Structure 1
Amino acid sequence: MRRSQFIRNSLLATGAVVSNGSLSAFSEERRNRQENRPFNLNYGPHQGQFENHAGKNILDQIQFAYDKGFRSIEDNGFSGRSVEEQERIGALLAKLGMDMGVFVLDKGGNGANTLAAGKQEHVDVFIKGCRQAIELAKRCGGKFTTVVPGDFARNLPLDIQTANVIEALRRGAEILEPHGIIMVLEPLSDTPDLFLRTATQTYLICKGVNSPSCKILYDVYHMQRNEGDLIANIDRCWDEIAYFQTGDNPGRREPTTGEINYKNLFRHIYDKGYRGVVGMEHGKSVGGKEGEVKLIAAYREVDNFID
Structure 2
Amino acid sequence: PAGDWAKGERGIACHPDRVEEFRAGVDKAIAYAQVLGNTQINCLAGIRPQGYDCATVEQTFVENLKFAAEKLQAAGIKLVMEMINTRDIPGFYLNTTKQALAIRDKVASSNLFLQYDIYHMQVMEGDLARTVEANLAVINHVQLADNPGRNEPGTGEINYRFLFEHLDRIGYQGWIGCEYKPATTTAAGLGWMKAHNAI
1:257 — aligned with what?
155
Matching of residue 294 in structure 1 with residue 185 in structure 2: no
1:174 — aligned with what?
70
Asked whether the equivalents of residues 218 and 243 of structure 1 are also in contact (C-alpha less than 8 Å), the reply is: yes
SS in 2 for 1:299: helix
1:218-257 CA-partner distances (Å, limit 9, x unpaired)? 0101111111111122233322211000000011111111
1:65 — aligned with what?
none
1:162 — aligned with what?
58
2:117 — aligned with what?
219
1:293 CA drift (Å) = 3.9
Asked whether the equivalents of residues 147 and 183 of structure 1 are also in contact (C-alpha less than 8 Å), the reply is: yes
Q: Which amino acid aligns with 2:119?
A: Y
Q: Which amino acid aligns with 2:104?
A: C
Flag structure 2 segments of 5+ consecutive residues without an equivalent: none
Distance 1:174 1:254, change over 3 A: same
Distance 1:237 1:200, change over 3 A: farther
Instruction: Tell which deviates more after alignment, 149-158 or 220-229.
Output: 149-158
SS in 2 for 1:116: coil
Matching of residue 238 in structure 1 with residue 136 in structure 2: yes
Matching of residue 248 in structure 1 with residue 152 in structure 2: no
2: CA distance between counterparts of 1:239 and 1:202?
Answer: 14
1:71-116 CA-partner distances (Å, limit 9, x unpaired)? xxxxxxxxxxxxxxxxxxxxxxxxxxxxxxxxxx554998486333
1: CA distance between counterparts of 2:94 and 2:104?
Answer: 12
1:167 CA drift (Å) = 1.0
Asked whether the equivalents of residues 108 and 147 of structure 1 are also in contact (C-alpha less than 8 Å), the reply is: no
1:84 — aligned with what?
none
TM-score (norm 1): 0.58
2: CA distance between counterparts of 1:237 and 1:162?
Answer: 22
1:139 CA drift (Å) = 2.1
1:132 — aligned with what?
28
What are the equivalent positions in structure 2 for 1:33-44 lying under 5 Å apart?
none
SS in 2 for 1:274: coil
2:179 — aligned with what?
281
SS in 1 for 2:14: helix
1: CA distance between counterparts of 2:82 and 2:165?
Answer: 22
Q: Which amino acid aligns with 1:274?
A: Y
1: CA distance between counterparts of 2:83 and 2:55?
Answer: 17
Asked whether the equivalents of residues 217 and 242 of structure 1 are also in contact (C-alpha less than 8 Å), the reply is: yes
1:206 CA drift (Å) = 1.6
More helix by share: 1
Flag structure 1 segments of 5+ consecutive residues without an equivalent: 1-104
- The equivalent position to 1:115 in structure 2, one of 2, 6, 13, is 13
2: CA distance between counterparts of 1:255 and 1:284?
Answer: 10
1:195 — aligned with what?
93
2:167 — aligned with what?
269
1:150 CA drift (Å) = 1.0
Number of matched residues?
Answer: 195
1:175 CA drift (Å) = 0.9
Q: Which amino acid aligns with 1:263?
A: R
